[in-house]
Structure 1
Amino acid sequence: MVSPKLGIISVLRLVPFLFINNNKSDAASYYASGLHGGSAEVAPFASQKVNLSVYYASLSQPCATFIVKNLEEIFHSDLINIINLQLVPWANAYVNKTNQSIICQNGPDECELNSVETCALNVWNDVSKHYALIYCFEFLAIEGRHKNWKDCFSQLDLPKEPVLNCYTRGNGTEIGKKYINETAPLKSLPLVMVNDESIGKLHAMQPSFGNKFYKR
């Protein structure tokens, strides 16, 4: 058993190195290993997990880099077994008080992707599912192919209907307004918090990926 204190130490030790360019964790090897496999080497106290919250915007390059290149380390190292991971999109967006529409820092495409990601987060309780899908979206964002986000469902063999139904009904946007209240203008993104304490400003390195993760 891993104590909550040791769990916190593990996360805090991990975070400062999350932006180091680790050649062993490129997108291809990540996809090959999968999020659903592997043994659970760390057995946590279920009610005493460490809360790790990531506040981000879907088309922010530093945020995409963190989610794709760095955050996946908690799955490979089994830290996910002692972590409650909470992804919170819509950072630095705001609600237009005149018509109640949402304005996103990086334009309408970001609002769309924020909404879809919000739906994934709320449709699936399985963190490995919604993280895998968001990983795929953000990978496309890094490559400038974010408009192809629907391809991610077939790439990952995930059912698209629940997420698309949520999105077309506007539920992702409505939930997004609640997220916006949590993500008042932030000086830098992503904002990473461990047990409600910010770990400070993060400096991302540019990721270096192969081309095997997605079919071209």
Structure 2
Amino acid sequence: MAVTAVVALLLLLGVCRASHPKPSCRYPPSEWCRSLEIATACKVQKQCMEMNAIRQYPPAPKVNVTLYYESLCPYSRWFLTLKLLPTYILLSDIMEVKLVPYGNTQVNTAGSFVCQHGQDECDLDMITACVLHYLEDYSFKFWFVECLLSSTNILKDAKMCFETYTFYRSWEDVLGCFFGPEGMGLMHKYANDTRALRPQHTYVPWVTINGEHTDSLNEKAHTSLFLLVCDLYKGVKPGICTGSPTHLNRGYTFA
């Protein structure tokens, strides 16, 4: 940062004399506006932002979480509704999610899908595939799946869930996908994605983080997916990860 900017900041803070920031700030004044993280630690983010002095870097990649699951598997439903969805609500700025409703489904000699929990699960998986294909906003996709997983009448409740979260697609589109070749094509893609896993999945829910699955990552994801995503994100951590009460101007964040 230019010397003039440092002087301007010191004048703005009223600390032209040989003073120091609070003990929580271990950086000299010349470094205060070097990054948003330092400015926050030194309690001068507001002044740095007003001066437009914080250097802006390319955003860090979001943490990718992919869930391979079965719609009627109790543990899959538990992980999706009580682990993945709450984490996504809190950390959608730094994570992206992909859902693959296939799991241990098999394809018989006639080319039809045979699901571990019966035909209802196959129907639920295919409706989910069609809706995920049509809904553009991923937050809506997530809420639709959460709504659908609590259903008792799949086709009836799926229509209600779908119409709750979209205004620009018709339920007839979903039915056309579900009863036609498009739905079969989407399920075959999920089958290929699932078979391509390395290591191959041996149970569901199967979680990959940034395309990787290890016993350690799996244990951390099931223990606290929230902490795992916060830890893996390489950019400036959002306040909810660090416990900071500061509400930052989104125009200056890196994510």
If the length of structure 1 is used for normalisation, what is the TM-score? 0.63
- The secondary structure found in structure 2 opposite 1:200 is helix
Q: 1:66 to 1:203 in 2, by over 3 A?
A: same
Q: Give CA deviations for 1:93-134 in whole Å, capped at 9, x if unaligned.
A: 1111x2111111111111111000001111122101111111
Equivalence for 1:100: 111
Equivalence for 1:163: 174
Equivalence for 1:212: none
Stretches of structure 1 lacking an aligned partner (at least 5 in a row): 4-43, 205-216
Which of the two has higher C-alpha Rg? 2
Q: Give CA deviations for 1:61-109 in whole Å, capped at 9, x if unaligned.
A: 11111112221212331x111112110111111111x211111111111
CA distance, structure 1, for counterparts of residue 36 and residue 121 of structure 2: 39
Q: Which structure 2 residues correspond to residues 47-196 of structure 1 after superposition, within 5 A?
A: 48-77=61-90, 79-96=91-108, 98-140=109-151, 145-146=153-154, 148-156=157-165, 159=169, 160-184=171-195, 186-196=201-211
CA distance, structure 2, for counterparts of residue 57 and residue 81 of structure 1: 27
Q: What is the Cα deviation at residue 145 of structure 1? A: 4.9
Equivalence for 1:200: 218
Q: 1:165 to 1:48 in 2, by over 3 A?
A: same
Q: Give CA deviations for 1:181-204 in whole Å, capped at 9, x if unaligned.
A: 222373221111111112226769
- The percent identity for this pair of structures is 30
Higher RCO by CA contacts (8 Å cutoff, separation 6 or greater): 1
Q: Give CA deviations for 1:5-31 in whole Å, capped at 9, x if unaligned.
A: xxxxxxxxxxxxxxxxxxxxxxxxxxx
Number of corresponding residues: 159
If the length of structure 2 is used for normalisation, what is the TM-score? 0.54
- Root mean square deviation, CA, Å: 2.8
Q: 1:46 to 1:89 in 2, by over 3 A?
A: farther
CA distance, structure 2, for counterparts of residue 121 and residue 153 of structure 1: 10
Q: What is the Cα deviation at residue 161 of structure 1? A: 3.2
CA distance, structure 2, for counterparts of residue 46 and residue 71 of structure 1: 23
CA distance, structure 2, for counterparts of residue 2 and residue 170 of structure 1: 50
